[in-house]
Structure 1
Amino acid sequence: MAQGRGSVVALGLALLCLLIHSEVAEAATYVVGGNSGWTFNVASWPRGKSFRAGDVLVFNYNPSVHNVVAVSAAGYNSCSAPRGSRVYTSGKDRITLARGTNYFICSFAGHCQSGMKIAVTAA
């Protein structure tokens, strides 16, 4: 009988691993701005796309002239990065989306105002 319980536990663990793997496998990866990358006038890039929590955004850019800053709605609307905002500077940033609206701007002077910002809503 002990062998039967062990088989049930092993089966349960295998199913759990499968569920965890399927969650990861469902996540999509999106390159922000497509072939142009993270640049000016990308604010409309998310339109027509369906994002889910756990999807990954890849921001490709030249780090000597751009960055990516995760901001609140207020920071997005005012094109400002409040103190404590997460700033990415690698030029190949991978950011996992949280459920709800995720806001990103470039904080270099004038860049956000020139459309270098996106708002991405993940279900």
Structure 2
Amino acid sequence: MARGTMVPTLLVLLLAIFCATTVVHSKEWIVGRQDGWFFSISNWGDDKPIKVGDVLVFKYKAIAHNVVQVSEEDYNACTVSRPSPTYRSGNDHIKVTSSGRFFFICYVKTPLHCENGMKIAITVQ
């Protein structure tokens, strides 16, 4: 009788061990320089192994900046041509939910900040 319950118990235990060893821990990436999201950071993400599940943290003075997720075309032109996710808290946490290229700019009423290098393109593995 005890032998009949041992196999299912062992299978459950093995499944639990397997699940525990495949848990992926996400990483938080503070975008930009030591002082955060700022000018002249467009190549910040070039050498970062950012993965799905990681979190991008944008720190900045909320009164002066924002973060807008845009298309590649808008990124290149420093424009916001359609409704786009816009963050304004000064401590934005954006979870990466898929792989690919993602584009972010600062666009506070004018393209001036973006044109001066307050933009990044990130490749997520």
Bigger shift: residues 42-51 or 87-96: 42-51
- Structure 2 stretches lacking a partner, 5+ long: none
Q: 1:69-108 counterparts in 2 under 5 A?
A: 69-97=68-96, 98-108=98-108
Q: How many residues align?
A: 119
Cα distance between partner residues in 2 of 1:70 and 1:58: 13
Which of the residues 104, 113, 123 maps onto 2:115?
113
Write the letter of the residue equivalent to 1:53. Answer: V
Q: Report the counterpart of residue 6 of structure 1 in structure 2.
A: 9
Bigger shift: residues 56-65 or 6-15: 6-15
**Per-residue deviation at 1:92?**
0.6
Structure 1 residues 64 and 14, CA gap change in structure 2 (3 angstroms)? same
Q: Report the counterpart of residue 124 of structure 2 in structure 1.
A: 122
- Structure 1 stretches lacking a partner, 5+ long: none
Write the letter of the residue equivalent to 1:72. Answer: S
Larger Rg: 2
**Per-residue deviation at 1:42?**
1.3
Calculate the aligned-residue CA RMSD, in Å: 1.7
The TM-score with structure 2 as length reference comes to 0.83
**Per-residue deviation at 1:34?**
2.5
Structure 1 residues 17 and 48, CA gap change in structure 2 (3 angstroms)? closer
% identical equivalent positions:
37
Q: 1:61-76 counterparts in 2 under 5 A?
A: 61-76=60-75
The TM-score with structure 1 as length reference comes to 0.84
Structure 1 residues 82 and 14, CA gap change in structure 2 (3 angstroms)? farther
Q: Report the counterpart of residue 41 of structure 1 in structure 2.
A: 40
Matched position secondary structure for 2:38:
coil
